[in-house]
Amino acid sequence: MKSIYPVLLAVALLFTAGCKQREGENQRQPQTDVVSVETLSAESVPQIAAVGDSIAKTLLKTLKQELLSAIEVSGPVGAVEVCNVKALPLTETVARQAGMPVSVKRTSLKVRNPQNRPDSLELNVLRIFEQAKEAGSPLPPNVIQKIVQGDTVKFRYYKPLEIAPLCVNCHGEPEYLSRELKARLKTLYPEDRAVGYKVGDFRGVIRVEMVQPGAD
Ligand code: HEC
């Protein structure tokens, strides 16, 4: 953990200095008026950490249950269809049920669905986790960003996801995926980059964005 903090700080500073040049990187969520981005420890914003963690865990649990029952009923190929139809709506549902305005997203350095592509702030955090993995360090349990954008202060909570045995069914080395599954993936996700993972790899994050709970 200790070795991570200088990296976090450096990335935060780099971004703060460089954010103007990153304008337009994310078309869906332009960050033209981002004034500053700061990386905070969970201890310094315990409420944000608690809310983010709880929402991220709820989404994980919901998606895992859905995956397991879909695989049981119709195998990995059928389960891919279920993911295709349900992953984004389920993510929306979890966000709606949070009891406060939040936006929830799953993203990765290698996405399957282009709708899950990272924006520039998410990219910074994905790289922090990826670099920790490459250095052989344990992943930080979370990363939190404070984003000042115009008059608004927002927080983003990021929970890292590692590849478990269940995940290699659909994200593993292509030679272990059935021909049928690969054909289905190719049809549904012609730009799929989310294969080739091994158990223990860093796969991506759940990102929960919110304003300070209770600060209306
Ligand atoms: C049954 C096949 C299947 C299994 C098993 C599976 N996934 Fe996926 N995964 C998908 C599909 C299909 C998508 C694209 C969903 C969509 O359209 O949003 C996806 C998308 C994702 C994304 C969003 C980013 C992207 O690439 O679009 C993450 C993160 C992710 N999966 C992680 C995992 C993890 C972690 C596991 C294991 C716990 C797992 N997946 C198991 C099929 C699967």
**Across the chain, what does the average pLDDT equal?**
87
Residue 125: both structure tokens together: 């955090």
**Which pLDDT does position 110 carry in this prediction?**
98
Measured from CB, residues less than 6 Å from any atom of ligand 1 are: 67, 71, 76, 79-80, 83-84, 87-88, 106-108, 111-113, 116, 161, 164, 166-167, 169-171, 194, 203-204
**Which pLDDT does position 22 carry in this prediction?**
39
Token pair 């004034």: residue: 35
Question: What is the torsional sign of CA 174, 178, 182, 188?
Answer: negative
Phi-psi label, residue 189: left if phi above 0, alpha if psi -120 to 50, beta otherwise: beta
**Which pLDDT does position 3 carry in this prediction?**
53
Q: Which residues of the chain have pLDDT under 50?
A: 1-2, 5-27
CA 142 to mean position of chain CA atoms: 11
